[in-house]
Structure 1
Amino acid sequence: MLQMDLRREPFKTKDNNRPMCRAADIKNKPSQSGERICTVERAASPRVNPTERQGTEVAHALGIGAAAPAGPSLLSTWGEELAQAMLEMDMLTEQEYAMDFFTYMMRKQSAHVFRPVDIPKSVTAEMRNVLVDWLIQVHEYLALEEETLYLAVYLLNFYLSERRIHTSKLQLLASTCLFIACKIEESLIPEPAELCFMMGDAYGKKELLKMERKVLYRLRFDLSYTQPVHFLRLLSLTGKCPEKISFLAMYFMELTLREADGMMIEPALLACAALRLAQVVVTLSCGLQMSPAVPRLYSYSDAELLGSLQLMARSALRSDANSTWQKFSRPQRLEVSAEPALSAKNLRRCIGSLSLQRQAACPVTD
């Protein structure tokens, strides 16, 4: 069990009435298969029947339905903006290679997308949600970079797609993936003893290092990953998006780490969908003025974009009690997760409208 209360106040739900479910409790309750897992209560989303006017309004705000460019990525158009964005990201010496970096990222990202067959059946949605929730708590507690979290979850997904692991070892695996990610992304690496402390000393340093060798061997020491965070930052900077929109998009994107379906979304598509959804929910709720469009550095079909938008909206609707909501409700991130724009009514309206638009984009044929 997490023992953070000695160093910081434990995470709680939005109303602070009950503590959050922790990944260390995975083995506290037997499942139907005999394994011990922690269950997570989820409120069922009520049926939503949006009016035709509402559906049109949401679709217009999303920019869906218009003809999307069918050609390759618009690199020449946004070359200067990319270089300027890299300058703002403190990448001065790499400015002249901006186009080469971006082209490489676009080509490489498809290698980091999982197929439906890669999703492990032994890890249920509840188990995955609890595990990633705990990982986010540890990540924030250690004040690690955003890239470290995304790489850790990717390594976790990769290992689970390659090899089965007993439920009792899931927390150890998650800690090991975070430890490896820190070695890639961080300048200061947490001590193994500190990670063992986060696991309530359920595992020792020797077990952590042994699992590290297993993970590295299974991954064939290939730790490369095209970060969706990088795409989102480039899109935000080139589109001159307000800081609140950028944080809200980051919030939507982090929610997909909990979803198995999020493993099958390309990083660039994930970033585009998160930024687009952040714009539409704020626009529909309070009419905030912002850039009229997200720079289209890459083209996706309406069906691909709609599926990602719908997944994020559904995740946001279930996020009131998790660590991601708590993380983005803090002043450092402008409290975007507590925005009125993310009310259940507004999100359900978006989900219903997106469902209608997806049906229109993918009609059923005989």
Structure 2
Amino acid sequence: MRPVSSAVTMARTGFCDTKPLLDLHKKADERRAPLRTWANASGPIDRWQPVEADESRMNLLKMEPDRRWERRLSLQTSEGIIMGFHEDSRAWSPGKLIAEGCVEDPVLLYPCGLQGLPSLQVLVPSLLRHEIEKALEKLDLIWDRTYAWEMFLDMMRTQTQNFLPSADLPRYFTDATRGILVDWLIQVHEIMHFQDETLHLAIHLLNRSLRLIKVTTANLQLLGMVCLFIAAKKEECLLPEVSGLCSLMDHTYTKHQFLRMERKVLSGLKFELSYSPPLHFLLIFASVARCSAMVVWMARYLLELSLLEGQCLVFLPAQLAGAALCLARQVVQEPTTPEGEAAWCLVSSIHVGSEATLMKIMHILASAAAKAHTCATFLKFSSPETMHVSRHPGLKNASSLLGVCS
């Protein structure tokens, strides 16, 4: 189907009709969703807040035997030592993580490696475990620290489930169409006062559904809203009425059509809704690295921009989180301290993929940030609550922003 015919079909079926946001022919600044002010009745919503920097020094722990981990120096580069830690080689081996059909090599989020810190280098496995446990507890992601480390290892393993091997969409959809739909869903998510995990899960379900079930262009908006509703069922305490969600779509679809699409999506996904969102990895990494509130908000902004980019579909959540945090640190350019560098060096020992993959993601996020002045995410992160990170001077110039990644 040619793009012109597709756009005409979308307009005739109501997907674009009376919805300027979903009209590909509108100017970017005119794509605002005609959403009614409809808030969840649950009252104030507890949102994720950035972890405040810990003023105390990290206590070096006594080295304890840990057979599940072994220290491995993989290669020497001009940037320094690229180094990673992995589980026992019987269960985990180099190149375990695969993206775009390429075997991944270990990479450090911190390019300078651990030179000059021999004591920390020896203590990394035990110290990293302690910091991960403390971060999970501080972020209220666990109730009991006893199983915190096992939970983190499970997150690292299960992130490869439901992995998308390519970013190719069905032939009658385009990246621009998907981007407009995701931007609209971000606005709906904000109006509903849902948790950030709900948004990331909803987009993940949408990406999978587009490849597993047959959906017409006319029902693309309905599919997006259904994915958001399913994600809310898994993440939220209180749910909106289906009729209320239909009203947000100007009653283009009936309640019967909504529920029928929900059954279709759940059947196509085989009720496999588990997902380790990149936001959780980001918050854990930022907590261990003692990142400031400004860096955390900047990284969260860049991470949410990745939802709009079709190129980011093939990367693992931990890779997206690591790249967003690296780029955020480079954009903010805060003064460093010995304690802060040691903490960043510690989180850098976590395996997140190859150096080439990390740099590729950073370039994608930099490009997205340089052109994001009209999207819903830009407005969302320009508020005082988010420290106006989307208006940071370091994000204004596209060429200079791309330069920090080179």
Q: TM-score, normalised by structure 2?
A: 0.69
Q: Which residue of 2 aligns with 1:8?
A: none
More helix by share: 1
Q: Does 1:191 find its partner at 2:177?
A: no
How much does 1:26 deviate?
Answer: 5.0
From the superposition, tell whether residues 203 and 263 of structure 1 become closer, same or farther in structure 2 (CA, over 3 Å): same
Q: Does 1:300 find its partner at 2:289?
A: no
Cα displacement string for residues 308-361 of structure 1 (whole angstroms, at most 9, x for unaligned residues): 1011001111100000000001111111101112112xx42232463xx4xxxx
Q: Which residue of 2 aligns with 1:174?
A: 224
Letter in 1 for 2:253: Y
Q: Could you list the runs of 5+ residues in structure 2 that have no partner in the other structure?
A: 1-12, 30-76, 88-123
From the superposition, tell whether residues 199 and 242 of structure 1 become closer, same or farther in structure 2 (CA, over 3 Å): same
**In the alignment, which of 165, 168, 171 is matched to residue 215 of structure 2?**
165
From the superposition, tell whether residues 145 and 117 of structure 1 become closer, same or farther in structure 2 (CA, over 3 Å): closer
Letter in 2 for 1:138: V
Q: Which residue of 2 aligns with 1:318?
A: 371
From the superposition, tell whether residues 117 and 93 of structure 1 become closer, same or farther in structure 2 (CA, over 3 Å): closer
**Which structure has more RCO (C-alpha within 8 Å, separation ≥ 6)?**
1
Q: Is the 8 A contact 1:39 1:126 kept in 2?
A: no
Q: Does 1:348 find its partner at 2:399?
A: yes
Q: Which residue of 2 aligns with 1:364?
A: none
Q: Is the 8 A contact 2:298 2:328 kept in 1?
A: yes
Q: How does 1:91-240 map to 2 (within 5 A)?
A: 91=141, 93-116=143-166, 119-240=169-290
SS of aligned partner of 1:68: strand
How much does 1:135 deviate?
Answer: 0.1
How much does 1:71 deviate?
Answer: 4.2
Measured on the aligned residues, the alpha-carbon RMSD in Å equals 2.5
Q: Which residue of 2 aligns with 1:255?
A: 305
Q: How does 1:8-87 map to 2 (within 5 A)?
A: 27=16, 38-39=24-25, 65-72=79-86, 76-87=126-137
SS of aligned partner of 1:187: coil
Distance 2:180 2:15 in 1: 8
Give aligned-pair identity as a percent: 34
Distance 1:116 1:156 in 2: 15
Answer with 1 or 2: which has the greater Rg: 2
Q: Is the 8 A contact 2:242 2:255 kept in 1?
A: yes
Distance 2:78 2:361 in 1: 13
Q: Could you list the runs of 5+ residues in structure 1 that have no partner in the other structure?
A: 1-23, 30-35, 44-62, 358-366
How much does 1:299 deviate?
Answer: 4.2
Distance 1:167 1:92 in 2: 41
Q: Does 1:274 find its partner at 2:274?
A: no
More strand by share: 2
Distance 2:216 2:304 in 1: 26
Letter in 2 for 1:307: K
Q: Does 1:338 find its partner at 2:388?
A: no
Cα displacement string for residues 212-234 of structure 1 (whole angstroms, at most 9, x for unaligned residues): 00000000111111111110110
From the superposition, tell whether residues 212 and 299 of structure 1 become closer, same or farther in structure 2 (CA, over 3 Å): closer
